[in-house]
């Protein structure tokens, strides 16, 4: 170094001493961005973390002592990139699924039981209203049940026709029906009910209750014709799972709505984030149940014609869900 001139500026020396390390970090980060952190060797991964900490230290110092904008922008960007590389999500998919099914899903269900209960209440209150109104005046049926959903089954249809739909196999079975179910009315309702919850819960409650009135009016129509037991079986085989799924999705929506309406000691944004942790799990559980219901509807309803068997399968599967929610993910010893 030429010592004859004035000594170097402090920030220039600062940069010269550390530049090699920054360059090394830059190389490691670039490789991680391209091929993932798994492409690094053990020693390299270790030095990535070390160099990141040094660089963020340098940034902190440089912000205080240096006015070199070129250096500051570089360090800002380098540390930001290294931060993203070091704090990347590190999850294996297998562990993810296992943890969800054995622990987090049932725990979230138990934590949100009041919300799910409200979801079920909305559904049943709606059903009661629909049921009662039908017996007052059958014209209510058309108010509640959309034409596409009823498929010709209305107060005008003959009892034989209604019985025929319940026991007949003229619907197309298998995958086609399965898929059509998944995109049908109820999946949309479930997605909406969950998404709408974030807007203050009220739309979720109303939509669930409305869905209940559809169900109630539909039941009333069949009870009126003396087909009560039969429609019960027809609905049970998939309906126990499917209607529960809608109620659980509503529970998730209500959980989000609660966070927006009553954030408590948090800001609304934070409250939404906290509520979301459980609500999202409820939504996934609802989605799994809807897929199960689709399989039951697509295959089970056409294959099993015996009414008692329909009841047993429908409610038996309902009990299995319940057992999962109640018993799953419990720890024997509470951690201290």
Partner 1 sequence: MKNETIIPPEGVPVRFNVAGVGVRLGAQLIDVILTMLLILAIVIGFAFAGLGGRWLEGFAALTFFFLRVPYYILTELMWNGATLGKRMLGLRVVSSNGRSLGVYGVVARNLMKEAEVFLPMALVFTISGEDPVSGLIAGAWCLMALAIPVFNRRNQRLGDMIAGTYVIHRPEAVLLPDAAEAAQEAVAEGMFTFQTHQLEHYGAFELQTLEGIIRKLKDTKSTHRKAQEMEMLKIVEAIRKKIGYSDPVPHQDHEEFLGAFYAAQRRHLEARQLFGDKRADKFHAEKKDETAS
Residues 22 to 51 in contact with partner 1, rule: CB under 8 A: 22-23, 26, 33, 36
Which CA distances in Å does 126 have to 120, 279, 299? 10, 23, 29
User: Between 269 and 316, whose beta carbon lies closer to partner 1?
Assistant: 269
Alpha carbons 336 and 329: distance in angstroms, whole number: 17
Alpha carbons 114 and 106: distance in angstroms, whole number: 14
User: Between 35 and 159, whose beta carbon lies closer to partner 1?
Assistant: 35
What DSSP letter does each residue of 80-119 carry, written as one string? HHHHHHHT-----HHHHHHHIIIIIHHHHHHHTHHHHHHH
Q: Does 202 bind partner 1 (CB under 8 A)?
A: no
Q: Does 98 bind partner 1 (CB under 8 A)?
A: no
Q: Check if the beta carbon of residue 253 is closer than 8 Å to that of residue 196.
A: yes
Q: In the complex, what is the shortest distance from the CB of residue 15 to partner 1, in angstroms, rounded to a whole number? A: 6
Q: Check if the beta carbon of residue 257 is closer than 8 Å to that of residue 200.
A: yes
Q: In the complex, what is the shortest distance from the CB of residue 225 to partner 1, in angstroms, rounded to a whole number? A: 29
Please measure the distance between the N-terminal and C-terminal CA atoms of the chain and give it in whole angstroms: 61
Q: Does 96 bind partner 1 (CB under 8 A)?
A: yes
User: Between 64 and 160, whose beta carbon lies closer to partner 1?
Assistant: 64
- Residue 269 Cα to chain centre, angstroms: 18
SS3 151: coil
Q: Does 276 bind partner 1 (CB under 8 A)?
A: yes
Q: Does 57 bind partner 1 (CB under 8 A)?
A: yes
User: Between 53 and 308, whose beta carbon lies closer to partner 1?
Assistant: 53
Q: Does 191 bind partner 1 (CB under 8 A)?
A: yes
As a 3-state breakdown, the chain gives helix, strand, coil percent values, each rounded to 5, of 80, 0, 20
User: Between 281 and 310, whose beta carbon lies closer to partner 1?
Assistant: 281
Q: Does 178 bind partner 1 (CB under 8 A)?
A: yes
Q: Check if the beta carbon of residue 230 is closer than 8 Å to that of residue 307.
A: yes
The three-point CA angle 231-237-241 to 5° equals 115
Residue 79's closest CA among 101, 102, 60? 60
Q: Does 64 bind partner 1 (CB under 8 A)?
A: yes
Q: Does 111 bind partner 1 (CB under 8 A)?
A: no
Q: Does 60 bind partner 1 (CB under 8 A)?
A: yes
Q: Does 108 bind partner 1 (CB under 8 A)?
A: no
Extract the tokens encoding 59. Answer: 């940034």
Q: Which of 27, 76, 137, 169 binds partner 1 (CB under 8 A)?
A: 76
Q: Which of 39, 46, 50, 53 binds partner 1 (CB under 8 A)?
A: 53
User: Between 85 and 127, whose beta carbon lies closer to partner 1?
Assistant: 85
Q: Select from 149-157, 180-188, 207-215, 299-307 the region that touches partner 1 (CB under 8 A).
A: 180-188
Residues 216 to 235 in contact with partner 1, rule: CB under 8 A: none
Q: Does 192 bind partner 1 (CB under 8 A)?
A: yes
């Amino acid at each position: 170094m030429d010592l004859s001139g004035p000594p170097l500026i402090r920030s220039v020396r600062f940069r010269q001493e550390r530049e090699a390390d920054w360059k090394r970090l830059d190389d490691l980060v670039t490789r991680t961005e391209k091929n993932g952190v798994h492409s690094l060797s053990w020693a390299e991964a270790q030095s990535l973390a070390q160099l990141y900490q040094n660089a963020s230290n340098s940034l902190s110092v440089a912000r205080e002592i240096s006015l070199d904008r070129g250096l500051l922008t570089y360090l800002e960007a380098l540390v930001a990139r290294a931060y993203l590389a070091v704090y990347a999500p590190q999850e294996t998919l297998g562990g993810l699924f296992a943890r969800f099914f054995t622990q987090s899903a049932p725990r979230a269900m138990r934590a949100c039981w009041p919300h799910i209960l409200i979801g079920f209440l909305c559904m049943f209150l709606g059903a009661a209203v629909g049921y009662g109104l039908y017996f007052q005046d059958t014209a209510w049926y058309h108010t509640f049940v959309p034409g596409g959903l009823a498929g010709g089954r209305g107060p005008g249809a003959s009892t034989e026709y209604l019985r025929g739909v319940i026991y007949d196999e003229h619907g197309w079975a298998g995958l086609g029906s399965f898929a059509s179910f998944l995109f049908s009315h109820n999946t949309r309702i479930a997605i909406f009910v969950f998404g709408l919850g974030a807007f203050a819960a009220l739309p979720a409650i109303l939509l669930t209750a409305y869905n209940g009135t559809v169900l109630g009016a539909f039941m009333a129509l069949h009870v009126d014709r003396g087909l009560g037991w039969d429609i019960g079986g027809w609905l049970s085989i998939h309906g126990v799972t499917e209607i529960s799924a809608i109620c659980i999705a509503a529970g998730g929506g209500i959980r989000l709505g609660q966070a927006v309406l009553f954030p408590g000691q948090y800001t609304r944004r934070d409250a939404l984030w906290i509520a979301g942790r459980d609500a999202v799990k409820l939504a996934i559980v609802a989605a799994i149940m809807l897929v199960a219901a689709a399989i039951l509807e697509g295959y089970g309803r056409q294959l099993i014609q015996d009414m008692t068997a329909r009841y047993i399968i429908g409610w038996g599967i309902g009990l299995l869900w319940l057992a999962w929610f109640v018993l799953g993910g419990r720890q024997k010893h509470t951690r201290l």
